[in-house]
Amino acid sequence: MSWQMSNRYREDVTAAIINYGSSDDTAALIASLLPDVASIIVVDNSGDLPDDERFSSATIIRPRHNLGFGAATNRAAAQASTRWLLILNPDVRLTEGSLEQLVAASRELHAPLCGPRFYWDEDCTLQLPPALGHPLWLLSDRNLPHNSISAEPDITQLAMARHERFWKEQGTFTEPVLSGACLLVDNTWFRENRTAIFDEAFFLYYEDTDLCGRLMRKGIMPVCVADASAVHFWNQSSEPPEGKAVLMKASEKIFLDRYYPNGAPPLPLSKNTPAFTDLGSMLESPVLDVPSGCLKIDLGVQEDFIVFVRARNPGPTFKFNTPMWQRIRPGTYYMRAVDAQGNARAHWRWMKPEQPENQA
């Protein structure tokens, strides 16, 4: 995925990578960015980056303790001297030409916050959904294509409608929430407005949702650039000692108390639990027979598919390629085949076990 950004923009961008237990991914990301940005700053939140040649081209900030994602980003932003700051998770790779598209959109639209759409795999066949950002997306009417869902949709219908609408957009479009995994921030704008990029009350999770909410309160919509894309190896990042669920719950409470002191609109519950064909434990990728007329295969980690990745036009059978299968973390997964009318025609459930020690 290496490509060279035009000199017109290259000198105006600093990349900020927040490392947490991802030294190999961080090193690979640095190598991919070197031709395309003026400088790279890595904040080593886990304190485990080795002192070797792979990191010699970056400025490494080594805090005494884990600052959290937002505070670490703000530390990098304070040190950056360029107009734009490209915020990245270590497990993200921009596709060719995408950084230039993001910078051009920010410049032309005077947008302080831009982001790409994401794929889950390097072949760019598995489309990731828009950022969840409960409950901001529930209140954005443009996310609900009313002609394709029922009058009282459940969460499964809404998630499918949002996913479909998100990937049909062209050019640049406003989006209520952008993922913090890859954001282009106009750092000059934030400095001139005397505001930090992220609110450090959020240690991890919801800092990107809050950022979008603060901008919208100022009448500024976040911008998604359809011509920009990135690969994000979703569900791959290291587990913090506190546990992801605990940190997410704590950040969610801060967010909801701040934006919805009288109570947030509840997520509509799923009305039906589909009948899953249980494939059991899989040491190799499942091979699925796709029903005739089904044009999409969805993969989720919950049976209601609130968040899912989507493969289009899978053909008569579907399986993960070897690199993608190797990256999928152990756990239980749910899949479905969807026809052109948006009806789920088949459901599967399977588990990827921990790799046996003699195969590690």
CATH code for the domain in which residue 40 is found: 3.90.550.10
> Is 267 a member of any domain?
no
One domain, residues 177 and 316: no
> Is 212 a member of any domain?
yes
Q: How far, in Å, CA of 115 to CA of 229, rounded?
A: 8
* Residue range(s) defining the domain that contains residue 288: 277-359
Please say if the pLDDT value at position 236 is more than 80: no
Please say if the pLDDT value at position 335 is more than 60: yes
Q: Give SS3 for 317.
A: strand
One domain, residues 172 and 301: no
Exposed/middle/buried for residue 269 (C-beta within 10 Å: 0-12, 13-18, 19+): exposed
pLDDT score, position 155: 81
pLDDT score, position 183: 98
- Residue 13 φ then ψ, to 5°: -125, 130
Please say if the pLDDT value at position 146 is more than 70: no
The share of the chain scoring above pLDDT 90, in percent, equals 77
Please say if the pLDDT value at position 2 is more than 70: no
What are the tokens at 177? Answer: 């929430």
One domain, residues 182 and 307: no
Contact 351, 332 (CB under 8 A): yes
Over residues 255-294, the pLDDT tens digits come to 999 998 998 877 777 777 899 999 999 999 999 999 999 9
pLDDT score, position 3: 45
Q: How far, in Å, CA of 131 to CA of 99, rounded?
A: 19
From 20-29, 227-236, 277-286, 337-346, the region with the lowest mean pLDDT? 227-236
Please say if the pLDDT value at position 30 is more than 60: yes
Mean residue pLDDT across the chain: 90
One domain, residues 289 and 162: no
One domain, residues 83 and 140: yes
> DSSP label at 126?
E
pLDDT band at 157 (very low <50, low <70, confident <90, very high): confident
Q: Look at the block and give the residue holding tokens 């309160």.
A: 217
Number of residues in the chain = 360
pLDDT score, position 141: 46
- Contacts for 53 with CB less than 8 Å, ≥ 6 apart: none
> Is 270 a member of any domain?
no
> Is 289 a member of any domain?
yes
Over residues 79-125, the pLDDT tens digits come to 999 999 999 999 999 999 999 999 999 999 999 999 999 999 999 99
The share of the chain scoring above pLDDT 70, in percent, equals 90
One domain, residues 162 and 300: no
One domain, residues 252 and 308: no
Q: How far, in Å, CA of 217 to CA of 77, rounded?
A: 22
The radius of gyration computed from the CA coordinates of the chain, to the nearest angstrom, equals 20
> Is 166 a member of any domain?
yes
Please say if the pLDDT value at position 351 is more than 80: yes
pLDDT score, position 263: 86
Tell me, rounded to whole angstroms, the distance of Cα 200 from its chain centroid. 20
One domain, residues 214 and 170: yes
Q: H or E element: which one contains 351?
A: strand 344-352
Where among 201, 226, 256 does a domain terminate?
Answer: 256
One domain, residues 227 and 104: yes
Contact 66, 46 (CB under 8 A): yes
Please say if the pLDDT value at position 234 is more than 90: no
One domain, residues 230 and 283: no
Number of domains within the chain:
2
pLDDT band at 355 (very low <50, low <70, confident <90, very high): confident
Over residues 179-217, the pLDDT tens digits come to 999 999 999 999 999 999 999 999 999 999 999 999 999
3-state secondary structure 169-199: CCCEEECCCCCCCEEEEEHHHHHHCCCCCCC
Contact 91, 74 (CB under 8 A): no
pLDDT score, position 243: 78
> Is 272 a member of any domain?
no
One domain, residues 185 and 41: yes
What are the tokens at 95? Answer: 């596709």
One domain, residues 247 and 289: no
Please say if the pLDDT value at position 325 is more than 90: yes
- In the predicted model, what is the mean pLDDT of residues 39-58? 96
- Contacts for 112 with CB less than 8 Å, ≥ 6 apart: 106, 185, 186, 189, 190, 215, 220
Q: Residue 317 sits in a domain of what CATH number?
A: 2.60.40
